[in-house]
Structure 1
Amino acid sequence: MNIKRHGAATVGIVAAGALLLAACGSNNNTGSGGSSSGPSGSQVNVACGGKQNLTGEGSTAQKAAMDEFIAAYGQKCSGQQFAYNATGSGAGVKQFTGAKVDIGGSDSPLDPTKGEPAAAAKRCGGNPAWDIPMVFGPVAVSYKLSGVTDLTLTPDVTAKIFSGAIKTWNDPAIKKINPSANLPSTPITVIYRSDQSGTTDNFQKYLGAAAPSSWTKGAGKTFAGGVGEGKEKSAGVADALSTAEGSIGYIEWSYAQSKKLSVAKIDSGAGPVALSTDSVSKAIDSVQVKAGSAPNDLVLDTKALYASKAAGVYPLVLGTYEIVCSKGYDADTAKAVKAFLTVAATDGQQNLTQDGYVPLPTSFQTKVLAAINAIS
């Protein structure tokens, strides 16, 4: 897999309103009901037009997925342009609320404790912004340790490593889980995101949900572990993990694949589970929209997912949101945003598996298409 590392990707894409031919349900709190892919772009009507140069910025986790979306959009319509700048979730929210871009990309929904929904509503002319999940991607716990190609970690041990309570690779807690591994006395070097990162937020939420007694440092886009070395963006973390002996870090699976990094299995209580499309699909099958969310604001309830102890499930999965105005765009921009997101949710999903993501499950895709169609 090849992930382009440049800052912005620009390709011919669409701008248009979309009339959904697939049945679109209401926002409820049922699970996804299966991980099979839903309708393609051939089953929706995308009318090209509107704003010619659409812009987006944010999550690095969805960079490879965004490249797929842009390519699919370019096949659907010609003459339109979309540029996505992968600068990190925090920057994406800031650029969106500051009206610098048309779409913000974030691995976490807008945070009320930081005033982000209010800032977004102001940017949207007094109308609420919506968080629309478009990309599901697993987070790998990757490491570099010579002679160790098979490593299992529990949530408790992972939390203790990233908080500094476990300092060497031959710690008894790690050896107990990996009795046949030749674990050296090498010091553990934690690698974390130094920028404002939705991946960091999701990873810390996972530790808090899966190992609450061992991770008491909270969540948020800033790493709170208090140990290790910070690296900027996903590419910086991937580079460090590929070269620093004894290192461990959290990184999107797509980057781990690109750098051929070793990935730990997770044992949540029902046995070790390797990161795979199948184990992630099983996790996504249980994803629900958070209770109390406004219609079409599809904030995911990740707490139950992260605390899952189900057999065969890899629970460390994040959803990347496209943050958009529900209303408040001018007519041309609204048409472009709706068309781009419609193609992203349909044709754009077809090749995501090869990039380390899992396509939108069918019933969840229905909710996404309904939200996109409601943008005005």
Structure 2
Amino acid sequence: MDPELASAVPPVHDAAEDRQQRRSLSVSRKKFSGSRPGAVRSNKERPLAYIDNSAEASIASGGTRVEDYLALLKPRVMSLVVFCALVGILVAPGSINPFIGFIAIVCIAIGAGASGALNMWYDADIDRIMSRTQNRPIPAGRATPGDALALGLVLSAFSVMLLTLATNWVAGGFLAFTIFFYAVIYTMWLKRSTPQNIVIGGAAGAFPPMVGWAAVTGTVTWESFALFLIIFLWTPPHFWALALYKQGDYGAAGVPMMPNVAGEKSTKCQIFAYTLALAIAAFLPNILGFSSWIYGIVALATGAGFLWFAVKLLVSPEGADMKRAARSLFTYSLSYLFVLFLALLVDNFALRLGVI
């Protein structure tokens, strides 16, 4: 037959055969579905539950990505630490070779990142509980605690040794102490044992300007201590404001933050007290003579703004209004330290150039 004609002729079916096939298909469907009342399905017939183990499978297959390792270093926290250390280097008296200064900043950044990795290693259990930390690499299943521990230890040793060789033993020793203080004193001891965890542990985040200053001068002075004190006093109102509107997270994780232990009223009073102390301490660079009126004006304006938010929080009623006020203060505090230290840097450059 002509192929074109054959293709135009519809196929011929055996009707009896078709009926038999349909009957067999119907019977097999009934057996599979277990439609009879009380029918018990065999293990082979039961539907399988789907369990998503993609995160674990990703790790098991070596799926930790570069961005996950970077996330272990807490880059957002690191950025503020690096900036404050940079200000310490540039404001310190004397000079430093630009390349050596760059190495010093890199070492401080790596050291800060190492501290963050060690913190994530130790806090992996509570990070799984708190909403703001659940997407970190370890609780999200994108990295293992072993990854964070190894990364933290290797980077700690590398940053301390390189900074010591590039600058001096004072800066290297200060960086080593900073990493130890944050990873051991704060993370492993204070954080879960006392509501004063942030106050004492805040020293770790306040050391970087002193490390930068020491990298240039090889000494620790009252001027560098003034920069330390500003960050030290900034830490409690910053983190307690966060804790006020994240009480549920910290309570569920068993972290004794001040609002969970002393209550909201006491915490608000302490935030105001620390903010007042911070606004006064911000004038220490003027008092000690390493800044001028440019920095002084910025310190006055930013300190007044911080106090306004603290007062607003202090008088806010409990509930949603208090949480909004706490969140506003926390948001303001994020930019406060950057603006203040940037003003100190600009002021110092103006003094050195003879503009003022």
Taking structure 2 as the reference length, what is the TM-score of the superposition?
0.23
Greater fraction of residues in helix: 2
Tell me which structure has the larger Cα radius of gyration: 2
- Identify which of structures 1 and 2 has the higher relative contact order when contacts are C-alpha pairs closer than 8 Å and 6+ apart: 1
> Which of the pair is proportionally richer in strand?
1
